[in-house]
């Protein structure tokens, strides 16, 4: 409704491209043209590689739309039945990869032939009477592949597989299989020869019609959703390798007449190992999203949903709170998403729902974002398990290693935790025992984006850097996306300083008689001043430890600052009147500092970070406080009396 608040109409779209197209947002300005899309549209790249939710299918849907590729287009999305047909396809005399390449080549040839027969009727006057086109029509009819005949992919695959394993009807091309192919030395050789005849017939029809990508755009053949039929088994890997080999072969054979785009999930592609893998690097294009790109996408989708000119300032300063927890709003939002559109869309929509649907507000508050963030974090932890369930079924069992602790974890600390859990993990997942080592677990967690590794002064996550974790790297961080769900909301598992004196008289300034008007410092005041100086000394040392991750420096600073704030909250001359036993206070504080120093030394952080110097300064100040509180004031080294 027009009179609804702007926030009520705000929507960032659906997280799956198929529904986004159906509801129109993806095609109404909610699509952001990025490097991957431009590479796919230009034909420079054949392999579009990205994580789940990174926008592969959105690119595919955009290309399939009227606003995308201008020429003919075919989309192949195998379902489980079709995948099973390909996985089971074998030919005597050929290795698995080569056999599966043949069945994929057959699929490509049939799709191209069906397109050409239809295309010749509509786009080429009299083209359908060309001998090569008529031959394709007869071939398709004789083999049950006639254009317009429909049929599920699995049925066509089954039929093609039977034909390749026995004999296709090739009379349309002047070949009698029973005679001309009888001398083939093996089943695989016979199938390859049959397929070559079909492919040459398709190539001839392209040439005769002049469909060379100059007169009109080439036919675009895309394969998407392959992860739906992948199972991390050898025959599944052969299915994908066969697809790559078939596309490379067909692209060379058909030239500019036919273009291929294969959309592959990064973890599937990176798990493949085959001899010709190095030949595909020039065809690869990996989808990468920066925070700025996600911001641009969010604004484009917001504008598409609202139906009016929504400015960036309106979105991030009026509809959303400007800051959350002191952090700028876009940094807070996109820093807590894995760098992919699906995560951003889900988080942003959840913020809108918390504000409008739950509370009927006309703008999103900081509390809405915080509440949405907790729910989003729980979603993403579950989603990560699902995303890697096939490749790493043990992933969920690794999360307890990071629960209810600091999100900064060292290799030494992780070693202790993993050793305690290793026996159970090996028992529950015996088939993955070789991967369930500390280096193996770190590699899996880094590759999944769960852990980042500290490099210099930065923390790097998978996708930002292709370099895997190196043996000498010792400091890691749980991604902000998962921290709330794990209860790992502070950088370091430091014991929190709890104020000892929260008496109402201190907090309200209601100090007893005799407190006001005192101008001289007594012993209690000097001890409290000593405690404040100790806090400042520790904070200064923390500031000099530039090798420490900022999050750890901040966490130590927070705890010491809490202590300093409490000390500064006790006015001069008021300690005794509000019931503060200063000697006991200093000894209790010294005890806290002893524990803090021990935690810092046991952290496993490298000495080069400056953690040792910080721990040493904490211990030094702790000893000074104990001496001060242990006897007369002069025992601290001061010559001044009480």
pLDDT in tens, 482-533: 999 999 998 888 888 887 765 434 444 444 444 444 456 688 888 999 999 9
262 bridge partner residues: 47, 223
Assess whether pLDDT exceeds 90 at residue 306: no
Q: Are strands 458-460 and 451-455 parallel, antiparallel or unpaired?
A: antiparallel
Length of the chain counted residue by residue = 642
Picking from 616, 490, 620, 607, the residue whose alpha carbon sits closest to that of residue 555 is: 490
Query: What are the extents of the domains in the chain?
Result: 34-286, 290-387, 395-486, 517-636
Q: At what angle do helices 611-630 and 582-601 cross, to 10 degrees?
A: 160
Q: How many CA atoms lie within 13 A of 447 on its CB side?
A: 18
249-268 burial, b for 16+ CB within 10 Å, e for fewer? Answer: bbbebbeebbbbbbbbbbbb
pLDDT of 598 above 60? yes
Q: The tokens 């009888």 sit on which residue? A: 182
- pLDDT tens track for 310-363: 899 999 999 999 999 999 999 999 999 999 999 999 999 999 999 999 999 999
- pLDDT at residue 1, rounded to an integer: 47
**Strand order in 408-410's β-sheet?**
408-410, 475-478, 451-455, 458-460
Q: Which residue has the higher pLDDT, 47 or 22?
A: 47
Which tokens is 24 given? 């129109």
What's the sign of the alpha-carbon dihedral 76, 80, 81, 84?
Answer: positive
- How far, in Å, CA of 607 to CA of 616, rounded? 12
CB-based contact 488:406 (threshold 8 Å): yes
User: Residue range 603-610: average pLDDT?
Assistant: 83
Task: Please check the confidence at residue 480 and state whether its pLDDT lies above 80.
Answer: yes
Full-model pTM? 0.81
Contact (CB, 8 A) for 157 and 88: no
């Amino acid at each position: 409704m027009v009179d609804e608040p702007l926030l009520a109409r705000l929507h960032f779209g659906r997280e799956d491209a198929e529904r986004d197209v159906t509801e129109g947002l993806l095609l109404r300005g909610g699509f952001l043209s990025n490097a991957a899309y431009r590479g796919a549209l230009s034909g420079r790249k054949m392999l579009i590689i990205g994580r789940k939710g990174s926008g592969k299918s959105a690119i595919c849907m955009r290309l399939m739309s009227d606003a995308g590729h201008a020429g003919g287009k075919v989309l192949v999305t195998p379902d489980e039945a079709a995948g099973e047909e390909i996985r089971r396809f074998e030919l005597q005399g050929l290795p698995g990869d080569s056999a599966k390449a043949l069945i994929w080549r057959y699929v490509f040839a049939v799709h191209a032939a069906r397109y050409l027969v239809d295309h010749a009727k509509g786009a080429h006057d009299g083209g359908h009477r060309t001998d090569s086109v008529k031959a394709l029509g007869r071939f398709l009819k004789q083999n049950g592949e006639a254009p317009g005949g429909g049929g599920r992919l699995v049925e066509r695959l089954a039929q093609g597989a039977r034909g390749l394993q026995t004999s296709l009807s090739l009379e349309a091309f002047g070949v009698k299989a029973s005679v001309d192919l009888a001398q083939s030395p093996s089943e695989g050789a016979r199938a390859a020869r049959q397929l070559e005849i079909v492919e040459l017939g398709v190539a001839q029809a392209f040439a005769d019609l002049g469909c060379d990508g100059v007169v009109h755009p080439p036919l675009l053949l895309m394969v998407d959703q392959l992860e739906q039929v992948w199972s991390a088994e050898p025959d599944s890997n052969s299915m994908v390798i066969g697809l790559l080999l078939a596309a490379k072969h067909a692209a060379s054979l058909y030239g500019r007449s036919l273009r291929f785009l294969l959309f592959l999930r990064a973890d599937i592609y990176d798990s493949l190992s085959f001899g010709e893998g190095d030949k595909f690097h020039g065809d690869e294009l990996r989808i990468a999203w920066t925070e700025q790109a996600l911001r641009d996408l969010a604004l484009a989708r917001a504008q598409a949903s609202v139906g009016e000119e929504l400015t960036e300032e309106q979105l991030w300063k009026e509809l959303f709170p400007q800051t959350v927890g002191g952090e700028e709003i876009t940094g807070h939002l996109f820093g807590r998403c894995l760098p992919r559109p699906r995560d951003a869309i889900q988080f942003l929509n959840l913020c809108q729902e918390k504000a409008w649907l739950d509370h009927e507000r006309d703008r999103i508050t900081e509390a809405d974002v915080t509440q949405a963030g907790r729910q989003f974090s729980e979603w993403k932890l579950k989603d990560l398990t699902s995303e890697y369930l096939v490749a790493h079924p043990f992933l969920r069992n690794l999360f307890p290693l990071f629960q209810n602790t600091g999100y900064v974890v060292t290799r030494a600390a992780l070693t202790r935790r993993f050793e305690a859990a290793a026996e159970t993990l090996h028992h529950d997942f015996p088939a993955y025992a070789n991967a369930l080592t500390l280096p193996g677990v770190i590699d899996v967690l880094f590759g999944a984006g769960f852990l980042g590794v500290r490099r210099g002064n930065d923390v790097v996550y998978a996708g930002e850097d292709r370099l895997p974790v190196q043996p000498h790297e010792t400091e890691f961080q749980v991604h902000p996306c998962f921290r709330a769900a794990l209860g790992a909301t502070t950088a370091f598992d430091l014991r929190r300083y709890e104020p000892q004196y929260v008496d109402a008289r201190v907090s309200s300034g209601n100090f007893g008689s005799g407190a006001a008007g005192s101008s001289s410092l007594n012993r209690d005041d000097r001890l409290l001043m000593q405690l404040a100086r100790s806090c400042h000394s520790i904070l200064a040392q923390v500031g000099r430890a530039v090798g420490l991750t900022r999050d750890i420096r901040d966490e130590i600073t927070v705890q010491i600052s809490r202590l300093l704030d409490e000390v500064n909250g006790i006015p001069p001359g008021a300690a005794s009147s509000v019931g503060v036993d200063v000697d006991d206070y200093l000894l209790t504080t010294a005890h806290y500092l002893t524990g803090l120093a021990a935690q810092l030394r046991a952290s496993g952080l490298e000495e080069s970070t400056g953690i040792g110097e910080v721990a040493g300064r904490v211990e030094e100040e702790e000893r000074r406080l104990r001496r001060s509180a242990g006897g007369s004031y002069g025992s601290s080294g001061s010559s001044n009396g009480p």
